[in-house]
């Protein structure tokens, strides 16, 4: 038996996102988002599932917060639905939207749970997509206006902020691969979108500083860690490109004010480059207070000149996979954390980590021991990184509850709490009680 003791101020938490749990998509003045549109487009989402009801957390948030209190978390990462605050993205403010998030945040604070707010977790107002979305600088300015509304309303009450969740998913998954909303499949569009969200991030941080908000702000990239299939240079370069696709492409502009040249060359070879205007990179490169890191899996890649824009191919090395098909390899989290040290000794939070394990309820229980195994392996790597001196301040399990897993709809379950989507009954899983113990002890026990 090994005991890994965590720092006394370590922030144990969980995470969710507005479109994935709230439901009430037509209530209290909420506008339409690109995910409402995408989900209703035939063939885009498994089973045609959409977020109209989801976990109904818009109405059941008090029950959800009671479960968070029982779990014992110190912080809860949630996102705000921009279409609830400014329904058409750039026009009138919807007071009922602000009122909901005030009720919600007040209830968290009443239960000694620190609100950790993501401003943008993919639910762009459709009216802004209709004018070109993140490719249009009017959307960038609309985001700054939305951010300012949120900073003025919640500054001080909310002390931990993130501008964007998973820039790679917003730019590449949603506009090059096309698997997420709005579903474009054009590399130049994805670079334009990526540049737009980086501009919006930088301007929002400038506004945060200008207003003198009492709090900290950052951004939350997702990283699919990659290792080369062999020691040869071509394979190592392929792994470097895959890592940079998720991380450096966004974090170099934020921390250094430049895109990584080897990736500019890679995209230019595919016929695309970011549309950088004078002053853009200085705007993007604003000092931030913390980094979120979302980590799920890693890949083994080798060079393949015919392997798409990154000229690589991922290899199936026979690792155990979760029910969504992602290989389980916790050392990738440790290595990704060390990789991020090149951006300096900044506070880091694991803002998402978890496993898709689709076990159901049997006799009132969910025996998701595979999720416990995944969490144990990854939290052990978190401890290892802290022991190495990495400034890791917290860990938020994805997710507090089963929810709408985007294009996978409701068939993929990441929650510590099971949700019956017909009755909306919540059932804490075995992993909920295991994590509750880790939090209560502030240590991790491993069997070895
Ligand atoms: N790597 N190349 N892929 C090429 C082929 O792509 C096909 C699909 O790819 C992906 C890649 C990544 C994801 C993903 C999902 N989550 C989980 C959410 N995180 C934010 C929160 O909302 C969670 O629901 N994180 N990442 C999905 C699909």
Assembly ipTM: 0.94
Write the DSSP symbol of residue 118. Answer: E
3-state secondary structure 212-267: CCCCEEEEECEEEEEEECCCCHHHHHHHHHHHHHHCHHHHHHHHHCCCCHHHHHHH
304: CB partners within 8 A, 6+ apart: 238, 311, 312, 313
pLDDT digits (tens, 9 = 90+) for 146-192: 999 999 999 989 999 999 999 999 999 999 999 999 999 999 999 99
If residue 315 lies in a helix (H) or strand (E), which one and from where to where? strand 312-315
Which of 173, 177, 327, 352 is the best mutation target for the ligand 1 pocket, counting ligand atoms within 8 Å of the beta carbon and taking the most?
A: 173
Residue nearest to atom 18 of ligand 1 (CA): 405
The Å distance, Cα 190 to ligand 1 centre, comes to 16
pLDDT at 437 over 80: yes
The Å distance, Cα 224 to ligand 1 centre, comes to 9
Q: At residue 314, what are phi and psi to the nearest 5 degrees?
A: -75, 145
279: CB partners within 8 A, 6+ apart: none
The Å distance, Cα 45 to ligand 1 centre, comes to 14
179 ligand 1 Cβ < 6 A? yes
Residue nearest to atom 4 of ligand 1 (CA): 177
The Å distance, Cα 283 to ligand 1 centre, comes to 28
173 ligand 1 Cβ < 6 A? yes
Q: Which atom of ligand 1 is nearest to the CA of 414?
A: 24
166 ligand 1 Cβ < 6 A? yes
pLDDT at 16 over 80: yes
pLDDT bracket for residue 448 (50, 70, 90): confident
222 ligand 1 Cβ < 6 A? yes
pLDDT digits (tens, 9 = 90+) for 221-268: 999 999 999 999 999 999 999 999 999 999 999 999 999 999 999 999
pLDDT digits (tens, 9 = 90+) for 375-429: 999 999 999 999 999 999 999 999 999 999 999 999 999 999 999 999 999 999 9
Q: Are strands 443-446 and 2-5 parallel, antiparallel or unpaired?
A: antiparallel
Percent of all residues in the chain with a pLDDT value above 70, rounded to a whole number: 100
Please indicate whether residue 166 is annotated as part of the active site.
yes
295 ligand 1 Cβ < 6 A? no
CA distance 152 to 45: 36
177 ligand 1 Cβ < 6 A? yes
Q: Are strands 216-220 and 75-79 parallel, antiparallel or unpaired?
A: unpaired
Neighbours of 282 (CB within 10 A): 10
Q: Mean pLDDT for the chain?
A: 98
CA distance 53 to 164: 24
Please indicate whether residue 153 is annotated as part of the active site.
no
405 ligand 1 Cβ < 6 A? yes
pLDDT digits (tens, 9 = 90+) for 95-110: 999 999 999 999 999 9
pLDDT bracket for residue 126 (50, 70, 90): very high
309 ligand 1 Cβ < 6 A? no
Percent of all residues in the chain with a pLDDT value above 90, rounded to a whole number: 98
pLDDT digits (tens, 9 = 90+) for 266-319: 999 999 999 999 999 999 999 999 999 999 999 999 999 999 999 999 999 999
The Å distance, Cα 267 to ligand 1 centre, comes to 21
Q: Which atom of ligand 1 is nearest to the CA of 20?
A: 22
Question: Which of 166, 224, 329, 405 is flagged as catalytic?
Answer: 166
Q: Which atom of ligand 1 is nearest to the CA of 246?
A: 1
- For 390-439, give the DSSP string: --EEEEEEE-SB----GGGTTSS---SEEE-TTT--EEE-HHHHHHHHHH
The Å distance, Cα 198 to ligand 1 centre, comes to 20
pLDDT digits (tens, 9 = 90+) for 58-95: 999 999 999 999 999 999 999 999 999 999 999 999 99
CA dihedral 48, 50, 52, 57 (to 10 degrees): 140
399 ligand 1 Cβ < 6 A? no
Residue with tokens 């506070």: 347
Q: Which atom of ligand 1 is nearest to the CA of 224?
A: 1
277 alpha-carbon distance from chain centroid? 28
């Amino acid at each position: 038996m090994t005991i890994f003791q965590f720092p006394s101020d370590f922030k144990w938490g969980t995470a969710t996102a507005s479109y994935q749990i709230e439901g009430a998509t037509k209530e209290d003045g909420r506008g339409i988002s690109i995910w409402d549109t995408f989900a209703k487009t035939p063939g885009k989402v498994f089973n045609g599932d959409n977020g109209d009801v989801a976990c109904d957390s818009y109405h059941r948030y008090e029950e959800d917060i009671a479960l968070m209190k029982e779990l014992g978390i110190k912080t809860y990462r949630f996102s705000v639905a921009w279409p609830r605050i400014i329904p058409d993205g750039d026009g009138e403010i919807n007071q009922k939207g602000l009122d909901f998030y005030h009720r919600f945040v007040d209830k968290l604070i009443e239960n000694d749970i620190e609100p950790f707010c993501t401003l943008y977790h993919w639910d762009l107002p459709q009216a802004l997509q209709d004018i070109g979305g993140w490719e249009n600088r009017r959307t960038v300015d609309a985001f700054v206006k939305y951010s300012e509304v949120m900073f003025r309303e919640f500054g001080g009450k909310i002390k931990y902020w993130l501008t964007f969740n998973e820039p790679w998913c917003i730019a590449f998954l949603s506009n090059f691969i096309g698997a997420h909303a709005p579903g474009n499949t054009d590399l130049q569009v994805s670079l334009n979108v990526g540049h737009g969200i980086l501009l919006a991030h930088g301007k929002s941080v400038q506004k945060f500083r200008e207003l003198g908000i009492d709090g900290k702000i950052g951004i939350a990239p997702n990283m699919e860690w990659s290792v080369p299939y062999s020691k040869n240079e071509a394979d190592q370069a392929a792994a470097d490109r895959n890592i940079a696709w998720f991380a450096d492409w966004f974090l170099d502009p934020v921390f250094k004010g430049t895109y990584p040249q080897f990736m500019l060359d890679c995209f230019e070879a595919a016929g695309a480059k970011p549309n950088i205007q004078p002053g853009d990179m200085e705007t993007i490169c604003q000092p931030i207070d913390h980094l979120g890191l979302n980590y799920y899996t890693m890949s083994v890649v080798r060079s393949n000149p015919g392997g798409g824009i990154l000229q690589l191919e991922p290899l199936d090395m026979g690792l155990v996979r979760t029910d969504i098909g992602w290989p389980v390899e916790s050392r990738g989290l440790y290595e990704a954390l060390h990789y991020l040290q090149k951006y300096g000794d900044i506070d880091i939070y694991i803002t998402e980590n978890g496993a898709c394990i689709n076990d159901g309820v049997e006799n009132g229980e969910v025996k998701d021991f595979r999720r416990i195994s995944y969490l144990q392996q990854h939290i052990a790597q978190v401890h290892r990184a802290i022991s190495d001196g990495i400034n890791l301040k917290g860990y938020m399990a994805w997710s507090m509850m089963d929810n709408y897993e985007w294009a996978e709809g409701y068939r993929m379950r990441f929650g510590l709490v099971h949700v019956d989507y017909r009755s909306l009954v919540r059932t804490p899983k075995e992993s909920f009680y295991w994590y509750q113990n880790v939090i209560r002890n502030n240590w991790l026990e491993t069997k070895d």
